[in-house]
């Protein structure tokens, strides 16, 4: 029986860290900085996230695990911090994790609530532990798809809430 060759997802684009916009570097440093605060005794997989809101502020989050296996992901925590501050949209997100730090599928959908509709304008950066020479830098559209489901599909504009 013939098996189909495995289809590999295209690698996400990488850039040299020092070429990032100064504000993007600030977001990266915030994510790397907060990563060690993660509470991950079960997976030992610490994640730090920083997001830049449209209000110009940076919000951070870490994953928080629990003995009954409910875990809060760092993206959710950071976005909740932003929402708590009545900011409803982010422009840049950096995820610092072992594998180069790209948000999981669940978090991508959670992020979609606060991304606005111009997904090509939202920048996602992924860094391995610490600042490396190269970092992943792509748009939100690259990792969620331009036809993703968002609040606007249900007639909701998060900016009004």
Closest contact distance (angstroms) between CB of 71 and Zn ion is 9
- Its sign, for the CA torsion 95, 99, 104, 105, is positive
Active site residue 26: no
Q: Considering beta carbons, is residue 19 or 149 the nearer one to Zn ion?
A: 149
Exactly one of 52, 77, 107, 125 binds Zn ion (CB under 5 A); which one?
107
Spatial contact of 136 and 13, defined as CB atoms under 8 Å apart: yes
User: Which listed range, 3-11, 107-115, 118-126, 140-148, lies at the site for Zn ion (CB under 5 A)?
Assistant: 107-115
Indicate which residue of 75, 76, 81, 113 is catalytic: 75
- Sheet strands (E) in 73-115: 90-96
95 and 31 Cβ atoms separated by less than 8 Å: yes
Detail the DSSP E strand segments found in 5-101: 14-16, 48-53, 58-62, 90-96
- Say if residues 112 and 144 touch (Cβ distance below 8 Å): yes
Least Å distance, CB 61 to Zn ion, is: 10
Q: With contacts defined by CB under 5 A, name the span among 28-36, 53-61, 67-75, 144-152 that binds Zn ion.
A: 67-75
Task: Tell me whether residue 22 or residue 41 sits nearer to Zn ion (CB atom).
Answer: 41
Applying CB under 5 A, does 73 fall inside the site for Zn ion? Answer: yes
The secondary structure of residue 72, as a DSSP letter, is B
Q: What's the closest the beta carbon of residue 22 comes to Zn ion, in angstroms?
A: 27
Closest CB 159 distance from Zn ion, rounded Å = 24
DSSP state, residue 82: H
List residues binding Zn ion (CB under 5 A).
Answer: 73, 104, 107
Active centre residues (catalytic): 75
């Amino acid at each position: 029986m013939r098996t189909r060759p495995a289809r590999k997802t295209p690698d996400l684009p990488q850039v040299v860290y020092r070429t990032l916009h100064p504000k993007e570097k600030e977001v990266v440093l915030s994510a790397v900085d907060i990563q060690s605060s993660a509470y991950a005794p079960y997976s030992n997989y610490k994640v730090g996230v920083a997001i830049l809101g449209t209000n110009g502020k940076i919000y951070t989050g870490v994953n928080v695990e629990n003995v009954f296996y409910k875990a809060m992901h760092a993206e959710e925590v950071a976005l909740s911090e932003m929402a708590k501050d009545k900011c409803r949209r982010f422009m840049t997100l950096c995820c610092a994790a072992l594998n180069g730090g790209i948000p999981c599928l669940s978090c991508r959908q959670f992020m979609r609530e606060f991304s606005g509709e111009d997904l090509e304008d939202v920048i996602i950066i992924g860094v391995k532990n610490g600042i490396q020479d190269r970092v992943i830098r792509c748009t939100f559209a690259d990792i969620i798809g331009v036809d993703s489901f968002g609040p606007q599909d249900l007639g909701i504009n998060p900016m009004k809430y």
